[in-house]
Structure 1
């Protein structure tokens, strides 16, 4: 039934004149405990308030969807409670229907009221629907880029669309820290399902212009709040299994989860499988399908045992030479994205050894910089520089590097070389 509904929705093409409306995130203020009790924000800018109210009305009173900034990437939001809104998300993104969506709420109070159907819970019982294993994490990391898995309420109380959860017994939820996202969810008083606001398989958007590139004419409204600060999606953890699992690395590192989670998270495992068993459910976005891929071919250079910088540059040249050879001359433009070991490489140095049009772009020298710049750099190489080949220098899989390499391995279709 769900598949038939999705197929029908995909066949109904509605064209929009997509608007981009600016919102000043600095004009929005929340009380310190608003993420707990659900108190509404205040606005220092009337125009920003008007724009967010317009978007809130769309989410609350229609089946349509809107794009908005979070601290991680831009999200494509529709009501988690509304089948038609979720169908419109799948349609706009061309997203597989067995890929569950993360629900975004503005407060624990909203989670209790809108999803679990429990009103007026006192302060002492506010977390009754959140298992104890998560309490230490959300106390320190919400609002923020942390997603947790919770049990779907029993059938008599459940308000979540089965399309949001992909008909599973758990759902993913977080409270974003971006003030525009929080205000949008709070003013609509609607839990918002929001995958990244890009065409499915494409690099995630960290600017409103990225959203417009992929979804122009497919959605009515994009809220422009400037660049996303984190740059990769939220960390997803499952505390309902033993040992607990980090299902997707993201805005908070594995090391932070283990440290801040306390004794219950000391043995947390990392989901590293590249494929799922036949018939296995996708518990979180990013576990099954192609993700983060530009149109150009991507080769990932994984840090290995090659010694000094000169040797690494020779390896880089040999990789590009090899790709040009097997392409039979179809590779004309190459974009190189560097991190730590190739930080000093110059395009002029490489052009003397290679007969292609080259651009070199640094992703940054710290984990935070590389993470924040990653998707925008992939899109620039693909959409602005029109590269035929993108070669990316990877990093060690620790701290922010775990999330960075998770995305890069998928962007490269698991095609990588040691250097």
Structure 2
């Protein structure tokens, strides 16, 4: 049982650190790499952060995925502060972050990494991949009384250096108010947690912009419990992952949702203040369409027959009609500020390009567009998604309209986040 702590008001500091000031040698050694810090002030700031963490405080840190709210993974008192600061449900597990394989082995019951994970670790660590492992007694109720714990080895130099400086693993969920879009720049953290935490380490914008993939290879066949920065396609290429499944795509497990082993499974997440309306349409594979990377084709498909062309044109027109109908309904409900998050191929452009011919209503409304990237490059969309959701909130949008993308590669993680953020999903 966690003890409660009185809320404290801090003067939150946000020093800027250059990730290039941190390196590790030998660079290929994951067992016990040495940290080298080239800037004296960066070293002072890192030591300050480590001292706060040793004293059971929480510190916001950059990772390659999103900013994390870090605390000593061995300290129940520190873990309590994570939950209290974020207003996070206490049955929502945390991920433990390590900076070496030696540190990982110290928190395993028999100090031995399960062999099934070794090829995955060799390929993807350090990086945006979390693995489910047996939990030892060194990890307290952080795991919500589960026999397993989620662990990852981040690649961000600041996160790695800080964990090494502390000498203990860090528990770190996203550094935001629970349920809101994850922070990908330091100002997002300040927006949510200013005065609630003593320190934010500003390491610039996160590289991936979306959380880590969570892999459970203790089960057979192995399963992705949460899609993220490492794709399903990439994992399937690794020895032992040939039969890999994706939760809610290939199987469901009610018990797993009732007592989750990893974040992102039970609660609504990633939601801005504005309503999010997600438009989804099935990708018409098998109807004469062949995937292509030709940027001249707005849907990312090469049409092999005239029949296929007709199907695609009908699909696009149907989507446009659905978008127009949904906007008319939202206008009648009193919404006047519409945000559009679009890719280069989005039918949502019609709202601004052809407003007069698209809508029957004469009601005036404001539209703000933000470009997420090419639908053919889902890693671009992942990088921009949370940042753009937060920017729409900052501009006071009533509704954010988003058109779904293919679930290929990083698109699987993008669609997972959008479905969880959505107030309403319009399916074609």
Q: What is the TM-score of this pair, normalised by structure 2?
A: 0.86
Match of 2:353 in 1: 349
Aligned pairs for 1:14-93 (under 5 A) are: 14-33=8-27, 36-60=30-54, 62-93=55-86
Name the residue aligned to 2:207: 229
Distance 1:258 1:74 in 2: 28
CA distance, structure 2, for counterparts of residue 311 and residue 252 of structure 1:
33
Gapped runs of 5+ residues in structure 1?
A: 119-127
Question: Which one is further off, 273-282 or 136-145?
Answer: 273-282
Structure 1 residues 395 and 32: CA distance shift in structure 2, 3 A: farther
Matched, 1:99 2:75: no
Deviation at 1:254, TM superposition (A): 0.6
Q: Residue 397 of structure 1 aligns with which residue?
A: 407
In the alignment, is residue 269 of structure 1 matched against residue 245 of structure 2? yes
Q: Equivalent residue for 1:377?
A: 388
Distance 1:278 1:269 in 2: 15
1:175 CA displacement: 0.5
Aligned match of 1:364: 373
Structure 2 counterpart of 1:168, from 139, 146, 151: 146
SS at structure 2 position matched to 1:55: helix
Give 2:159's aligned residue. Answer: 181
Range moving further from structure 2, 136-145 or 47-56: 47-56
Counterpart CA distance in 2 for 1:214 and 1:323 is 28
Once the two structures are TM-superposed, the CA of residue 318 in structure 1 deviates from its matched residue by: 2.2
The C-alpha deviation readout for 1:159-209, integer Å capped at 9, x for no partner, is 1121x1111100010100000100010111110000000000000000000
Contact 1:347 1:360 (C-alpha < 8 Å) held by counterparts? no
Q: SS at 1:266's partner residue? A: coil
**Count of residues paired in the alignment:** 390
Cα deviation code 1:127-161 (max 9, x no counterpart)? x52111110000010000010011012xxxx2112
For 1:323, the equivalent position in structure 2 comes to 330
Which residue pairs with 1:124 in the alignment?
Answer: none
Kindly indicate whether the alpha-carbon contact (under 8 Å) linking 1:351 and 1:357 is maintained by their aligned counterparts in 2: no
Shift of 1:407: 0.2
Identify the match of residue 312 of structure 2 among 307, 315, 329. Answer: 307
2:421 pairs with one of 411, 415, 418: 411
Q: 1:139 to 1:279 in 2, by over 3 A?
A: closer
d(CA) in 2 for partners of 1:239, 1:364: 33
Cα RMSD (Å) of the superposition? 2.1
Does residue 1:338 correspond to 2:342, yes or no? Answer: yes
CA distance in structure 1 between the partners assigned to 2:347 and 2:197 by the alignment: 39
Give secondary structure in 2 for the equivalent of 1:41.
strand
TM-score, normalised with respect to structure 1 = 0.88
Aligned match of 2:291: none
Superposition pairs for residues 236-247 of structure 1, below 5 Å? 236-247=214-225
Q: Deviations over 1:214-263 (max 9, x none)?
A: 00111000000000010110000111111111100000001111112x1x
